[in-house]
Chain A
Amino acid sequence: MKRYDRITPEGTRDYVLKECRLLRKADNILRDLYQKYGYSEVITPSIEFYDVFSDGVGRVSQNELYTLTDSNGRLLTMRPDSTKPIARLYAAHLQKLELPLKLFYSQPVFKRNINFYKKSDEIMQTGVELLGLNNFKSDIEIIMLSIKSMQLLFGDDFIIEIGHMGFIKALLDELDISAKLELRHAIATKNYPDLNRLAALLGEKGEILKSLPELFGDSTVLERAETLFSDSRSQEALKQLKEVLAVLEQNGLKDNVLVDLAVINDYEYYTGIVFKGFVKNESREILSGGRYDTLYNDYGLNVPAVGFAVNTDEAARLLVKKQRSKERETERVAIYTDDPDLFKLQQLIDSYSAKGVTSAISLFDNIEDTLRWAQKIGAKKLVKIKDSVVSEVKL
């Protein structure tokens, strides 16, 4: 029998050294940011009951879920996202709290990616959820936080792509469910041949639908959209997008923002503004989010919400790529002592730590092995303590 005791399951991986450090760094930067803006952290279990994801707008398709059973035979699933579990958490425990509620999380999600290989099945995510408001200011706060997240991680080297579900919803409302799914897919993948075919089913609306995937680029897209969409829902969506873009432009972000009226995120639950974050010249998204005002209806609640998640593993991958040559490791010193009472080194280690230098204690019993090892781990110098006398060797 073949043994699988050295490799990890498909879609999962180990994180070591630089990548692990950058993953944690990205996570810490984001947590600090969200905390600074008054968001409180929540942690939900890695496994939930399958029922949380089986129905409603937050439904996740069976073949994307990792499932298992509990000791009573009840069906469980690894959480495929954090938004629905937070809705469950709110419905179960937090309803007495004053809205709006500002929450953040930092936890992996698990999803089977059957078709898109090289995508992770375990995705590290740090994200925010703003519950209880559906006004302009709450959209702006979330978009602002998403932009700040990208800036802190990638400087100016990012693109935020903004769209609105209003246009698609207005077009798709009258269709039956299977045509709807097909159309969503065609729009999201900018599949013009399929769209042309499906548009024929929609008559007059079909013409508008055909142009939807072409409506991306700078803010002039909105002017074109204005002439195309006349229904009240689309007009409202356009107005919201314009207001958001105006604020972003006032803040000098014109070059970092793209409009794409066909942005469709993976989940069906989005209802308003939607957005994705990319690093320039990279096709895999780092961040994705939007407004979902009906998700809480699954729990019989009327709580509008907006939020986003950053895929920190993807961010770390790009940071590694970008910083391959640049990034400086934190400075290191090696410490060798002939006294096995390592407790005595506390003061010395603290003093280096205060200067931002990491210490590594040599556990070898002779100086030759210590020297070889210190050089291998890239220590800048070796601090020797012999008969309580301290001396230093530059490496």
Chain B
Amino acid sequence: MKMLNIALTKGRLEKCTIELLEKSGIDCEPLINKGRKLIINLDNRYNVVFAKAADVVTYVEYGVADVGVVGKDTLMEMNRAVYEIMDLDFGKCRFALAALKDTDFYSGYNIKTIATKYPEVAKQFFDGKQMDIEVVKIEGSVELAPILKLADGIVDIVETGTTLKENGLEVVEFFADISARLIANTASLKLKKQEIEELTERLKS
């Protein structure tokens, strides 16, 4: 068996990923108590690194990691050449267009301004509607933008909608389901077919 290099997303998806790996019978003790180690070996078969979501995609695209776990939101935003081989069914949320409550987002003739952490996703969404928009890239709390009159609406991932509600916003439209995905490097999927298939089988059970 060849060693499989795996990149996992830090933060939001981390806990669920480890839980899933444990459930599939992989001893994740070294992942939980990793200390300062950057590369963690599991069962002598997997080399695991933790990285920011966008870096997971980059690592897999360039083949320094054979497979990775990352949110569909990041994949949609980056649109890179990787294989998306499995829906891991956790980290579930939806992409939504939201605006201030009791306003008609589509009214008026002005070009709408959209605040988002996902400019590409927002552009694609409005391209599909054949609508011109202006995008403002925001790094932190996107919900602030409509309140501060920086934007007419936001495009963001929505889990329960509580944050939106608390800030006086409401969903105009949900448009894509998000969850954690297992991605693979295009060459690795072929050259490490057996190893990757074995991992996906484990994760399925």
Question: Interface on A for B, CB 8 Å cutoff?
Answer: 115-116, 159, 161, 189-194, 196, 216-217, 258, 260, 278, 280-283
Residue ID in chain B nearest A161 by CB atoms: B190
CB of A189 within 8 A of CB of B83, answer: yes
Partner of A282 from B72, B187, B193 at Cβ < 8 Å? B187
Partner of A283 from B87, B185, B193 at Cβ < 8 Å? B185
CB of B185 within 8 A of CB of A190, answer: no
Q: A217-B193, A281-B191 are in contact. Are A115 and B85 (CB under 8 A)?
A: no
Q: List 10 A-B contacts (CB under 8 A).
A: A161-B190, A189-B81, A191-B85, A193-B87, A194-B84, A196-B87, A278-B187, A281-B191, A282-B63, A283-B63
Q: A282-B187, A283-B186 are in contact. Are A115 and B84 (CB under 8 A)?
A: no
Q: How far is the CB of B116 from chain A (nearest CB, A)?
A: 17
Interface residues of B in 66-124 (CB under 8 A from A): 72, 78-87
Q: Give the chain A neighbours of B81 by CB distance below 8 A.
A: 116, 189
A-B contact count (CB 8 A): 52
Compute how far the CA of A159 lies from the CA of B187 in the bound complex, rounded to whole angstroms: 10
Interface centre among B62, B72, B190 (most CB of A within 10 A): B190
Question: Interface on B for A, CB 8 Å cutoff?
Answer: 61-63, 72, 78-87, 179, 181, 184-191, 193
Q: How far is the CB of A315 from chain B (nearest CB, A)?
A: 16
Partner of A189 from B78, B84, B86, B179 at Cβ < 8 Å? B84
CB of A281 within 8 A of CB of B85, answer: no
Q: Give the chain B neighbours of A280 by CB distance below 8 A.
A: 191
Compute how far the CA of A216 lies from the CA of B191 in the bound complex, rounded to whole angstroms: 11
Q: How far is the CB of B184 from chain A (nearest CB, A)?
A: 8
Compute how far the CA of A327 lies from the CA of B191 in the bound complex, rounded to whole angstroms: 27
Compute how far the CA of A260 lies from the CA of B188 in the bound complex, rounded to whole angstroms: 14
CB of A190 within 8 A of CB of B189, answer: yes
Q: Give the chain A neighbours of B87 by CB distance below 8 A.
A: 192-193, 196
Residue ID in chain A nearest B188 by CB atoms: A283
Compute how far the CA of A230 lies from the CA of B86 in the bound complex, rounded to whole angstroms: 27
Interface centre among B179, B184, B191 (most CB of A within 10 A): B191
Q: How far is the CB of A209 from chain B (nearest CB, A)?
A: 15
Q: A115-B79, A115-B80, A116-B80 are in contact. Are A192 and B187 (CB under 8 A)?
A: no
Q: A193-B84, A283-B63 are in contact. Are A258 and B190 (CB under 8 A)?
A: yes
Q: A217-B193, A283-B63 are in contact. Are A189 and B187 (CB under 8 A)?
A: no
CB of A191 within 8 A of CB of B80, answer: no
Q: How far is the CB of B159 from chain A (nearest CB, A)?
A: 19
Q: Give the chain A neighbours of B80 by CB distance below 8 A.
A: 115-116
Q: Give the chain B neighbours of A217 by CB distance below 8 A.
A: 190, 193
Compute how far the CA of A278 lies from the CA of B188 in the bound complex, rounded to whole angstroms: 12
CB of A191 within 8 A of CB of B84, answer: yes
Q: Give the chain B neighbours of A194 by CB distance below 8 A.
A: 84
CB of A192 within 8 A of CB of B186, answer: no
Q: Give the chain A neighbours of B61 by CB distance below 8 A.
A: 283
Interface centre among A190, A194, A281 (most CB of B within 10 A): A190
Q: How far is the CB of B87 from chain A (nearest CB, A)?
A: 4
Q: How far is the CB of A154 from chain B (nearest CB, A)?
A: 14
Compute how far the CA of A191 lies from the CA of B80 in the bound complex, rounded to whole angstroms: 12
Q: Give the chain A neighbours of B189 by CB distance below 8 A.
A: 190, 216
